[in-house]
Each structure stands twice: as C-alpha cells, then as structure tokens.
Chain A
C-alpha cells in the first residue's frame, strides 16, 4: 500500500497526515479531518457537491487526490463563517430561500464565493448562471440560487460616497 506524507492548509490550519496515495481529497476532508460539510454527490466530477476552493480556485474535490493537494491551501464550507456570524453568501442563501434539501448547498456556496472573488461584485446574472454550470441542484431550479449570489455580490460593493 503506497502512502505519502502530506501537509495541507485547511481553513487556515496546517494539517499533516500520512495518507494512502489513492485517497481522494474529499475523503481526506471528510474522514481524516471530520469536515463533513463537503458532500459527495455523484463521485464522477459532474454534480459539484464536493466543491472546495484550492489555492483560490473552485475545484471538485472528488477528482483531486489528497497527495495532489500537498502544499495547497484549501477552504471548505466550514471555513466561511466567523464564529456565530455566517458569511454573507450563507446569509444570502437563507434570505433568498436558495436551498431546499440542502445537499448541493455547500458546493454551491463555495462555487459562488469563488465566482464572486473572480468576477467581482458587479457580476451579472448571466455570468452567475454560466459560472454555476458545474453545480447541480435537484430542488430549487436555480432561480433563487442566482438571486442569492447576486445579492451577496452586491452587498460587497462599496457604497457610493
């Protein structure tokens, strides 16, 4: 059984472990670190429920080996809230009823946070829809998700003086 030593910074804390080379990043997060907010939906790179942010880019953690993430910085859904205060994207998902069963929500929120980081607070609805192509939701029909992402993006805008 091939094993490797890895050091990955997860939500600001360096985590070291000896893992099997075949271990997927999502299983490292869920089973080794107990961060079960990152979900496994399809396990075939389609649904995006396992989306985390790796070195500033949204990725599907079911399609990255833990050893490939050696030295990387990872942000998961558990790394968004500050204490009892939800991240603005989490707040917006609540306010706009952007979830029903909630299974896709962690991946959807991580993809949304990353797209707003990349496209800025003035991102438009069409861009949001295209940027969420890698995240499937079987409940809401996406409309409220897009509303929530736009609201959270807009809240980042500096108020006009």
Chain B
C-alpha cells in the first residue's frame, strides 16, 4: 500500500495551478511511470497529485514548416506511431518507440520525461540536439537553458510544460547502448544535421545529466562522416560510473554511439 495522498484531476491549466498551490508539497502527475515507482520507493512523498492528462492544451501533434509541436501529455506510443513525427523526424519516432517496454510507452509522456530530466532518459538528448523549445504555462524555454543537471530543470515551482516544439533537421540519428535490465541508456547519442551546422547531445553517461559534445559538433560541421570523430574523446572525469559501466567505458560508448548515429541517419541504432 502506498502512503496516503490526495488526487486531483485538472481540466484546465488554471485548475491545475490552483490544485498545486493548495497542497503543502504537491506534484504534477502525467503518465506516472517515473513518479509512482519513485513514490513506492519513498524517494518522493508529495501530499497531493495533480493529474494533467485531461487538459486539452497538452494534447496533439502538429507540424508547421520546420516546427514539429508535440503536446506534453502525448505518450511515447503516440509519438512513436505518429505519421507527423515519422515523416518529419524518423529518428525521434524511433527513439520514442525504444523507451521502456510497450506497457510503459502506453502511459509515459514526453512532458513527464522532460520535466523529470532523468540523466539516462532518451527525450532530453533529442530535445537538446533538435534545438527544441519547451513551452510552459508561463513562457518558452530553449532546450539549451532548460536542462540544468541531473533531475534539475529551469521549471519554477508549479510551472507546467504544455508543449515541446522541435526544429525539423535535414536528418537525424539516435544510437544507444541500453542497460539490459532497466532499458535506460548506459550511453546514447542524438546527432542532428541542420542548415546551420550539427548538434550532438549525449544522455545516460554524463555525471551532470544530458549535455552537448561541442568538440564533436565542430568536427562534424566540417565533415559529416563517422571518421570525423576519430581521435576525439570525452573526459572520463565527466562521466557517471556505476556497477553497470565505469566512467572510461561510458566515455568510450559515447564516441561509438555518436559515430553510429552519424553513420545511420534517419533511424535508431541499438548497440
């Protein structure tokens, strides 16, 4: 049995804010596939949950020119299956289809994943590499400013992600090595080729969460082929280290995943 809390289903953003402010230590609930397990482990103990999934502004996937806009409450399964996403950024659809397992993808949402900013989550890498704008109940935040270290974002208390708008690149690829038990990334690289250059973001590996590998971006901007990365290396001192993969191995995996993402644009590559 979980510890007691109260549940409130919001119909509008204003209602969600009001419920949130009425709690001592409220939390927003989207798909619940990170929050509920965290609460079961007593690693979080909000006194009230404000459910966002019924708010209409958080729904829908639309493309206008080079902007692809995804509602925060869209599930990983919906993103993976969306004709708009598959047409605009096939690697993003494939990324969504590689999160967790089918049951998890039926409930977990893109907004929830970004707000949680787990250092091994997939979406933060796509948001950063695709120069996304995170739209909230209050403002628009660029991905470069949004992610601020493990489980930390630019969101203020009570602020709600409403949509995520990705810039459609010329092409993009995502490559990852999964922890075979948890399915989270041990190291993964999202590489987007754009008119202005190349953006490359790494998740699962950095000891401060998702980050851009600027040295690799510069090399790929000059010559977009996997060989351009030869000799480049990340500092193991900046990597996470645990029983599954030590820092040196993670640094190595980042380079391998980046090369694979460059070599396999337009798709997901599992190492």
In the bound complex, do residue B102 and residue A65 qualify as a contact, i.e. CB atoms below 8 Å apart? no
Docked CA distance A2–B2 (Å): 13
Q: Is A94 part of the binding interface, using a Cβ–Cβ cutoff of 8 Å?
A: no
Chain B's closest residue to A50 (CB) is: B103
Q: Give the residue of A45, A65, A70 whose beta carbon is less than 8 angstroms from that of B104.
A: A45
Chain A residues with Cβ below 8 Å from B3 are 22
Contacting residue for B7 out of A2, A27, A115, CB 8 A? A2
Q: Specify which chain A residues have a CB less than 8 angstroms from the CB of B101 in the assembled complex.
A: 48, 133-135
* A111 & B51 in contact (Cβ 8 Å cutoff): no
What per-residue 1/0 map shows which CB atoms of A31-45 lie under 8 Å from chain B?
Answer: 000000000000111
Interface bits B88-118 vs A (CB < 8 Å: 1, else 0): 0000000000001111101100000000000
**CB-CB contacts below 8 Å: A107-145 with B:** 111, 114-115, 131, 133-135
Residues on A with beta carbons closer than 8 Å to the beta carbon of B100: 134
State in angstroms the CA–CA spacing of A67 and B54 once bound together: 13
**Given A64-B32, A68-B32: A58 and B103 interface contact (C-beta under 8 Å):** yes
Chain A contact surface mostly: mixed
In the assembled complex, the Cα of A20 lies from the Cα of B9 at a distance in Å of: 14
A73 within 8 A of B: no
Which residues between 6 and 33 of chain B lie within 8 Å of chain A, taking CB atoms? 6-7, 9, 29, 32-33
B104/A60 in contact, CB under 8 A: yes
Provide the residues of chain B in CB contact with A60, threshold 8 Å: 103-104, 107
A24 an interface residue at 8 Å Cβ cutoff? yes
Give complex CA distance A115, B77 in Å: 13
Count of B interface residues, CB-CB < 8 Å: 26
- Do A45 and B102 touch (CB < 8 A)? no
A21 to B19, CA, bound (A): 15
Q: A59-B106, A65-B49, A68-B51 are in contact. List 14 more A-B contacts (CB 8 A).
A: A1-B4, A2-B7, A21-B49, A51-B103, A58-B102, A63-B33, A63-B37, A64-B32, A64-B36, A65-B32, A67-B7, A70-B9, A115-B102, A134-B104
Interface set of A (CB-CB < 8 Å, partner B): 1-2, 4, 20-22, 24, 27, 43-45, 48, 51, 54, 57-60, 63-65, 67-68, 70, 111, 114-115, 131, 133-135
**Chain B residues in the interface with A (C-beta under 8 A):** 1-7, 9, 29, 32-33, 36-37, 40, 49, 51, 53, 77, 100-104, 106-107, 183
